[in-house]
Chains A and B, each alone.
Chain A
Amino acid sequence: MDFFDPVVIALGLAGLYMAWNIGANDLANAMGTSVGSGALSIKQVIIIAGVFEFVGAVFFGKRVTSTIAKGIVPIDTIKLIDPHLVVVGMLAAILAAGFWITFATFYNLPVSTSHSIVGAVLGFGLVSAHSGIIAYADINWLVLAKIVGSWLLSPLLGAAFAYLIFVLIRSLILQRADDPYAVEKKFVFLQVLTACYIAFAHGSNDVANAVGPLSAALSTLGLTDGTVPIWILAVGGVGMVIGLATWGYRVIETIGTKITDLTPTRGFAAQFATATVVIVHSYGSLPISTTHTLVGSVIGVGLAGGLAAVDLSVIGKIISSWIITVPVAALTAALIFTGLMGIGI
């Protein structure tokens, strides 16, 4: 097998589609708050997001990518039996995650790409164990537990951190200012910085969802040296930027026009908290949902009394999306894997 094997090409294309989807929706969500508060125009946001997302993906995306590629399922063990299994398994995983994300997006469900790809890779691991390729104990349950724990923790951390930042802004700046509207104008500049920050953080964490499986396949085939090469991260980065430019601007537009309540001080608190939580998780090699963290951060600003109205029913929707995403993605990946093997691919 080489780069031009149809299965490898399919993996690359599926990865690009996933990257496009992440750029079009998740990145756009993270950036939409800057447009909503009037800090940046849509054009400026797309340029900033494009540059920093790419840089984040390329220079800081390696850790999470290697978690997706080989942190959960022991591909090195499977490789010893047949490298082909890993390639097909990873193709099944990215296809399953891609299908689920596409479906969820059509129905506007708050589903995370990170949760989907983790569930799908796990599905591949489980079906391998089921068919005796590996033992169930070979699946890295500890890493999986850490990942799931981080999904619960990251929105809470976002909420707590955003709460703290906004309380500080309020007591140190807003309440001392003679003209609170002038303060908002000053925060516009800070929000330009947080827009860069959040794009960088997002790129560093979410590129893995698109190129993790591809990276696993290429390393199994010996086409890379076992670490995640920069060019794979660059492919993911380019895909996400294309997603933002070709579709994400509409999402940004929709969000930007509807969340006018999120003034620059509030937007800054929510984005800074989100970006920080995400980047800490990227450093800890944990794939989390930027969107869920952002929702947590917005609620944190609301809890601090910074927003006119926050709808907490979104929490229930997010929790049910957690519960449903992993089994659905896992089962789909298992079925696709079995199907692909069945037809002799």
Chain B
Amino acid sequence: MMRRKYIRSVLSVFAESPFRPLHMHAEKGADATRKLSEALEAYCAGDMARVEELSSEINVIEHEADVIKQTIRSQLKSSIMLPVNADDLLDFLKPQDAIPDTAQDVAYWLTLRKCELPDVIRDGLLELMSKSAETVEMYETLVDKLSELLETSFSKKEVKQTLAIVPQVEELEHEVDVIETNLVKTIFKHEDELGGAGVYHLAELVKVIGDIADKSEHAADRLRTMILRR
């Protein structure tokens, strides 16, 4: 590249698309969740060294997601015209950013306390995690459709197909809620065995794992708003 280019160009009318980094950002959330599933398995197997290792990997992913988020925000000056409302886009970026954040929280809680788990609780945790992860995966499918929406410039058919994924994310999140409620009950049934600290730790863990699905559902909802209000 020449330092001082002898160029008059139309380039300045083309702004950086926020949609590519938005997609990358969504992938960070899914990556963090996959790592977290691994971390929970290691936790249940009592391999705390592996949990620590995965937790720091999740920290790195979360940080990368933050950098992407900041880039998107800094590029959206008021003069930028998008095919969607910029405020809606930012409203949707926020819950999407909460996905890797929450994954980071869960990983942190896992590192806090080693725990001898009764089988029923361990299975419950793994089931909750896999359902939460499934919600995030479904959310990722939804975000994948965004590029096609842009390509057809929001054709009715593509919009319909994309919006059809949102209720699926909502359904999965509902299933997560059900597992969550039952699991908390089971934890309290075992309170003598687990001790106060154990119950507190597990109840909090269940809550944050459930939050991952919550945030995905929230982001999916915001994405729908963004598409419908454009």
Contacts and interface: CB of A to CB of B under 8 A. Distances in A.
A210 to B, nearest CB: 16
Contacts of A104: 8
Contacts of A304: 153
A306 B19 CA distance: 13
A263 interface: yes
A255 B157 contact: no
Given A175-B152, A304-B153, A108 B9 contact: yes
Given A180-B151, A261-B14, A309 B8 contact: no
A294 B150 contact: no
Interface string B74-111: 01010111110000000000000000000000000000
A110 B82 contact: no
B18 A308 contact: yes
Interface in A19-67: 24-26, 29, 32
Interface string B103-138: 000000000000000000000000000000000000
B13 A310 contact: yes
A255 B9 contact: yes
B83 A308 contact: yes
A109 B8 contact: yes
Nearest to A258: B11
Given A302-B81, A305-B153, A310 B15 contact: yes
A331 interface: no
Given A259-B14, A310-B80, A26 B157 contact: no
A299 B80 contact: no
B13 A298 contact: yes
A111 interface: yes
Contact of B15 (A180, A184, A309): A309
Interface string A287-298: 000010011001
A312 B27 CA distance: 30
A32 B83 contact: no
A255 to B, nearest CB: 6
Contacts of B81: 299, 302-303, 309-312
A55 B204 CA distance: 75
B10 A29 contact: yes
Nearest to B148: A180
Contacts of B157: 175
B16 interface: yes
Contacts of B188: none
A180 B157 CA distance: 12
Contact of B153 (A111, A254, A306): A306
Nearest to A109: B8
B8 A105 contact: yes
Interface residues of A, number: 49
Interface in A258-297: 258-259, 261-263, 291, 294-295
Interface in B1-59: 2, 4-20
Nearest to A290: B10
Contacts of A26: 8
B154 to A, nearest CB: 6
B68 to A, nearest CB: 16
A106 interface: yes
B230 interface: yes
Contacts of B229: none
B185 interface: no
A309 B153 contact: no
B152 A170 contact: yes
A262 B82 CA distance: 14
B7 A25 contact: yes
B156 to A, nearest CB: 6
B6 A314 contact: no
A311 B13 contact: yes
A154 to B, nearest CB: 14
B80 A254 contact: no
Contact of A313 (B6, B79, B148): B79
Contacts of A133: none
B71 interface: no
Given A25-B7, A309-B80, A311-B79, A317 B12 contact: yes
Nearest to A308: B17
13 contacts: A25-B9, A105-B6, A106-B4, A166-B153, A170-B155, A255-B11, A259-B14, A262-B14, A307-B83, A309-B75, A310-B13, A310-B14, A310-B15
Interface of A: 24-26, 29, 32, 104-106, 108-111, 166, 170, 174-175, 177, 180-181, 184, 247, 250-251, 254-255, 258-259, 261-263, 291, 294-295, 298-299, 302-314, 317
Given A170-B155, A255-B9, A312-B80, 13 more contacts: A25-B8, A32-B9, A105-B7, A180-B148, A181-B151, A302-B81, A306-B153, A307-B83, A309-B15, A309-B16, A309-B82, A311-B77, A312-B81
